[in-house]
């Protein structure tokens, strides 16, 4: 539809019709005549269903088409309904959780993943996905760190913009793409004490310099929607924050798409004590520029009277409706209200061989090898015990994989069984003998349940069946298998319900039952490889010290087993790098590498009294951001540059950009990929700066003995920050550039900006 036709349509709509475009209903309203919006009486509910502009949570091409047909027939202008869903890290083909994707340091694999997710979701009737989540995360107590790509603004921005490009393609009108919604704007990752839905206090400096950057990049990549966050920011709930939404999001970031509230967030301004009732909340939200009210009755019940009474400018309503109509138009819904949804196409493309291949590639690139003593990995031929509750667990996804069928997931055990050189056996030795069949004989034993007897899960349920007896049996079997093996691969991890929304924890260790299993197996294992399935950095207690090898597997998704076996078997050399610091102890949270410099840095040697430190724990992470081993070893040269002076401004001397180069050499005996990381520090500036900031990274694959030069370009723009003048600018002076394989690198080179 042309712009003028959209305007004509808008002018022809009644106020009620317009307001209803701003209302989003949960799928239950259409599927089971039940809406959790609070609108109780039947007449209003009926009207809502007839006129609400969008719905969340309905999938299935046939269902979507039927609902759309009925809706459009009743909508006075036949405006189509918009279908949205959280497709976070996969629709049917589920990719590693976003934190795992961050570990790939490969935006392109996330772009491809998002493209596949969009294709499957669109065929299944979805038009908008509530992804990517770009919240900067530094506190592993917060369960939602799993949904972000980590603690670094640059990495987050690169990953999120790649996802936006993948979801949206060249044009969202294309039937294989969906519109992306960047969330949660803004600062949600800094929730106080890592507790979900909590308040956030951030200085404008930190907000702009670190927290907003990722969203900005994703928005610049063309995301069609943005979602408000649940938190307050310096005392103001996001959905009512005019400065944040109008000045920063709309004006500074030039966002002209649809701003949607998070679920119920407009209504939550009441319990926050920011609005006295839903009416006031509606006024605050529309004035802040929130276009869609997700699942409350604030807009539906109050906007009409607010406008009639002159308390809200009617222009604000028109503005919001136009943005929603524009989105529907961009999606091509006026021409094809199903956006290409098709059962046949969905069945033909979903979980295709090609999609699974890409997911498998994403998994193996996401795995982070934290330890590998005496080349315990890759696995050698011989007797291998695959033990632990994750050895044959199908729940390798996260609580945000809403559509997948876990039966389609490949477990580690299944992947091992498919391998040509493996003979696989379950459990105890049946007495028939195991030898002689293949080079690797793998026996599997569950060992324990995932959770302890009394664990409280995210949704308040108790795991209350008595597991003691079952666990004793499982343990005995695992011990027998462990004693038989040359190497034990122990698959441990958090429960699927322990990370995601509303899963904050003060204890970020593995469940006790699994630690008991760990100790029992460690005592018996000749060689122990520990695999950790997790949505957050964990306090790994003694696991790293007592394991011969340690591999972080995140929540790897549908192709988890294949990707993991590729790495265990040596088919693929691991290359993942931590996107978020793993702490020594939960007491270090929030912890991140890019901390501000301090006036009393802790010396590396000697007396540390009266310097910044803990008495009982290092300041640094146990495993830092950017860290991860491969099956090879690498050398890196000192950085060299083609110029020592970078020019600032028209008349300055120096170069417009300088190139910093290192020579990277594979000094080991296997081909492997290393991620070369570029960090910069501004040595003296008008505000205290972080000790290091990631500004670039490049993955380089090298054969044994091979060397390659890796260069990074540095320009003035990369040195800008939110200065004392309250704007992004660079300041003349000295800078240090670090190039290395993780964020602790001391391989540096100094240059000047003048
Ligand atoms: C979450 C959002 C999500 C929305 C819709 C909320 O509870 O915070 O991330 O997109 O629900 O499912």
258-271 pLDDT, tens digit per residue, is 999 999 999 999 99
Please give the structure tokens belonging to residue 683. 């040595």
pTM, 2 dp = 0.97
Which pairing describes strands 368-372 and 549-552: parallel, antiparallel, or unpaired? antiparallel
Q: What distance in Å separates the CA atoms of residue 738 and residue 680, rounded to the nearest whole number?
A: 6
pLDDT at 339: 98
> With bands split at pLDDT 50, 70 and 90, how would you rate the model's confidence at 34?
low
Pocket of ligand 1, candidates 179, 259, 263: which has the most ligand atoms within 8 Å of its Cβ, to mutate?
263
Cβ of 293 less than 6 Å from ligand 1: no
In the predicted model, what is the mean pLDDT of residues 618-626? 98
Which pairing describes strands 368-372 and 293-294: parallel, antiparallel, or unpaired? unpaired
Pocket of ligand 1, candidates 87, 262, 267: which has the most ligand atoms within 8 Å of its Cβ, to mutate?
262
Ligand 1 centre to CA of 263 (Å) is 6
Please give the structure tokens belonging to residue 579. 């996107």
> With bands split at pLDDT 50, 70 and 90, how would you rate the model's confidence at 122?
very high
SS3 265: coil
pLDDT at 36: 54
Spell out the alpha helix ranges (H) of 169-313.
204-206, 212-220, 242, 278-288, 298-308
Ligand 1 centre to CA of 624 (Å) is 30
SS3 66: helix
Within 8 A by CB and 6+ apart from 473, the residues are none
Cβ of 130 less than 6 Å from ligand 1: yes
Quick one: which of 518, 534, 556 has its CA closest to 388?
A: 518
Quick one: which of 664, 630, 624, 657 has its CA closest to 641?
A: 657
pLDDT at 31: 87
Say if residue 283's pLDDT is above 90: yes
Q: What distance in Å separates the CA atoms of residue 493 and residue 392, rounded to the nearest whole number?
A: 13
Cβ of 262 less than 6 Å from ligand 1: yes
What percentage of residues in the chain have a pLDDT greater than 90? 92
In the predicted model, what is the mean pLDDT of residues 607-618? 96
Which pairing describes strands 422-426 and 640-641: parallel, antiparallel, or unpaired? unpaired
pLDDT at 455: 75
Cα angle for residues 605, 686, 611 (degrees, 5° grid): 20
Which pairing describes strands 82-85 and 128-129: parallel, antiparallel, or unpaired? parallel
Q: Which residues are catalytic?
A: 262
Cβ of 183 less than 6 Å from ligand 1: yes
Q: Are 520 and 478 in contact (CB under 8 A)?
A: yes
> With bands split at pLDDT 50, 70 and 90, how would you rate the model's confidence at 172?
very high
Spell out the alpha helix ranges (H) of 436-499.
468-484
Say if residue 229's pLDDT is above 90: yes
In the predicted model, what is the mean pLDDT of residues 298-312? 97
> With bands split at pLDDT 50, 70 and 90, how would you rate the model's confidence at 456?
low
Q: Are 449 and 389 in contact (CB under 8 A)?
A: yes
Q: What distance in Å separates the CA atoms of residue 596 and residue 577, rounded to the nearest whole number?
A: 22
pLDDT at 428: 65
> With bands split at pLDDT 50, 70 and 90, how would you rate the model's confidence at 130?
very high
Please give the structure tokens belonging to residue 102. 């961050």
Q: Which atom of ligand 1 is nearest to the CA of 131?
A: 10
> With bands split at pLDDT 50, 70 and 90, how would you rate the model's confidence at 435?
low
Q: Residue 158 belongs to what H/E stretch?
A: helix 153-168
Ligand 1 centre to CA of 132 (Å) is 12
Say if residue 465's pLDDT is above 80: no
Please give the structure tokens belonging to residue 303. 């906007």
Spell out the alpha helix ranges (H) of 525-572.
543-546, 560-568
Q: What distance in Å separates the CA atoms of residue 101 and residue 555, rounded to the nearest whole number?
A: 10
pLDDT at 654: 79
Q: For 517-568, how does the pLDDT look when each residue is reduced to its tens digit (9 = 90+)? A: 999 999 999 999 999 999 999 999 999 999 999 999 999 999 999 999 999 9
pLDDT at 45: 82
Ligand 1 centre to CA of 292 (Å) is 14
Quick one: which of 635, 697, 704 has its CA closest to 668?
A: 704
Q: What distance in Å separates the CA atoms of residue 616 and residue 354, rounded to the nearest whole number?
A: 50
Query: Whose alpha carbon is nearest atom 4 of ligand 1?
Result: 263
Ligand 1 centre to CA of 270 (Å) is 19
- Phi, psi (deg, nearest 5) at residue 339: 50, 40
Cβ of 501 less than 6 Å from ligand 1: yes
Q: Are 484 and 492 in contact (CB under 8 A)?
A: no
Q: What distance in Å separates the CA atoms of residue 109 and residue 311, rounded to the nearest whole number?
A: 49
What percentage of residues in the chain have a pLDDT greater than 70? 96
Pocket of ligand 1, candidates 130, 167, 188, 237: which has the most ligand atoms within 8 Å of its Cβ, to mutate?
130
Query: Whose alpha carbon is nearest atom 5 of ligand 1?
Result: 263
pLDDT at 631: 98
Q: For 472-501, how does the pLDDT look when each residue is reduced to its tens digit (9 = 90+)? A: 999 999 999 999 999 999 999 999 999 999
pLDDT at 448: 96
Look over the chain and give the mean of its residue pLDDT values, rounded to a whole number: 95
> With bands split at pLDDT 50, 70 and 90, how would you rate the model's confidence at 200?
very high
> With bands split at pLDDT 50, 70 and 90, how would you rate the model's confidence at 454?
confident
Say if residue 431's pLDDT is above 60: no
Say if residue 434's pLDDT is above 70: no
In the predicted model, what is the mean pLDDT of residues 10-33? 94
Q: What distance in Å separates the CA atoms of residue 593 and residue 590, rounded to the nearest whole number?
A: 10
Cβ of 86 less than 6 Å from ligand 1: yes
Q: Are 556 and 563 in contact (CB under 8 A)?
A: yes
Q: What distance in Å separates the CA atoms of residue 492 and residue 530, rounded to the nearest whole number?
A: 7
């Amino acid at each position: 539809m042309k712009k003028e036709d959209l305007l004509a349509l808008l002018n022809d709509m009644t106020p009620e019709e317009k307001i209803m475009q701003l209302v989003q209903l949960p799928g239950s309203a259409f599927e089971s005549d039940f809406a959790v919006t609070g609108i109780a009486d039947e007449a209003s509910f009926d009207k809502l269903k007839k006129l609400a502009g969008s719905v969340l949570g309905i999938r299935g091409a046939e269902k979507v088409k039927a609902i759309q047909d009925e809706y459009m027939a009743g909508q006075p202008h036949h405006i189509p309904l918009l279908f949205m869903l959280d497709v976070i890290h996969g629709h049917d083909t589920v990719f590693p959780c976003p934190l795992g994707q961050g570990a790939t340091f490969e935006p392109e694999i996330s772009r491809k993943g998002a493209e596949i997710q969009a294709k499957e979701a669109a065929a299944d009737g979805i038009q908008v996905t509530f992804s990517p989540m770009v919240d900067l995360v530094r506190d592993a107590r917060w369960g939602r760190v799993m949904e972000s790509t980590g603690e670094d603004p640059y990495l987050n921005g690169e990953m999120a913009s790649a996802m936006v490009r993948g979801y949206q393609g060249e044009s969202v009108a294309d039937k294989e793409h969906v519109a992306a919604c960047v969330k949660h704007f803004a600062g949600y990752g800094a929730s106080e004490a890592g507790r979900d839905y909590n308040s956030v206090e951030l200085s404008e400096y930190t907000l702009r310099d670190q927290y907003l950057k990722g969203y900005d990049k994703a928005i610049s990549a063309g995301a069609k929607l943005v979602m408000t966050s649940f938190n307050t920011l310096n005392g103001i709930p996001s959905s009512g924050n005019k400065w944040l939404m109008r000045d920063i999001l709309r004006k500074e970031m030039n966002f002209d798409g649809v701003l949607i509230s998070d679920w119920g967030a407009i209504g939550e301004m009441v319990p926050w004590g920011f609005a006295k009732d839903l009416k006031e909340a509606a006024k605050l939200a529309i004035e802040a520029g929130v276009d869609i009210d997700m699942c409350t009755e604030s807009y539906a019940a109050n906007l009409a009277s607010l406008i009639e009474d002159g308390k809200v400018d009617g222009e604000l309503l028109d503005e919001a409706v136009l943005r929603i109509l524009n989105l529907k138009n961009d999606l091509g819904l006026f021409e094809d209200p199903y956006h290409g949804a098709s059962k046949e196409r969905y069945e033909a493309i979903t979980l295709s061989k090609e999609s699974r291949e890409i997911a498998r590639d994403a998994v193996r690139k996401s795995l982070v090898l934290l330890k590998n003593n005496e080349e315990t990995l890759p696995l050698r031929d011989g007797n291998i015990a695959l033990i632990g509750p994750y050895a044959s667990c199908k729940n390798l996804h996260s609580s945000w994989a809403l559509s997948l069928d876990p039966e389609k997931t490949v477990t580690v055990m299944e992947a091992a069984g498919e391998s040509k050189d493996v003979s696989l056996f379950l459990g105890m030795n049946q007495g028939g003998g195991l030898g002689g069949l293949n080079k690797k004989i793998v026996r599997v034993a569950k060992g324990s349940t995932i959770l302890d007897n009394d664990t409280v899960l995210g949704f308040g349920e108790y795991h209350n069946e008595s597991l003691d007896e079952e666990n004793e049996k499982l343990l005995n079997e695992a011990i027998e298998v462990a004693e038989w093996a040359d190497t034990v691969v122990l698959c441990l991890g958090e429960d699927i319900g322990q990370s995601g929304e509303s899963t904050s924890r003060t204890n970020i260790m593995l469940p006790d039952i699994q630690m008991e299993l760990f100790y029992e197996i460690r005592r018996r294992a000749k060689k122990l490889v520990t695999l950790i399935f997790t949505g957050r950095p964990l306090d790994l207690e003694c696991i790293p010290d007592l394991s011969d090898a340690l591999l972080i597997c995140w929540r790897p998704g549908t192709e988890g087993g294949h990707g993991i076996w590729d790495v265990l078997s040596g088919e693929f050399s691991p290359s993942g790098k931590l996107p978020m610091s793993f702490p020594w102890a939960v007491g270090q949270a929030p912890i991140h590498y890019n901390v501000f410099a301090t006036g009393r840095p802790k010396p590396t040697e000697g007396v540390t009294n009266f310097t910044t430190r803990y008495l009982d724990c290092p300041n640094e992470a146990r495993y830092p951001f950017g860290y991860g081993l491969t099956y090879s070893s690498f050398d890196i040269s000192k950085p060299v540059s083609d110029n020592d002076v970078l020019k600032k401004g028209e008349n300055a001397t120096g170069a417009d950009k300088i190139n910093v180069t290192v020579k990277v050499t594979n000094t080991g005996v296997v081909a492997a990929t290393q991620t070369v990381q570029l960090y910069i520090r501004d040595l003296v500036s008008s505000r205290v700066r972080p000790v290091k900031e990631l500004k670039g990274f490049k993955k380089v694959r090298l054969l044994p003995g091979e060397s390659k030069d890796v260069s990074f370009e540095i320009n003035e723009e990369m040195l800008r920050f939110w200065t004392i003048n309250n704007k992004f600018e660079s300041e003349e002076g000295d800078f240090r550039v670090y190039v290395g394989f993780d964020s602790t690198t001391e391989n540096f080179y100094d240059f000047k900006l003048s």
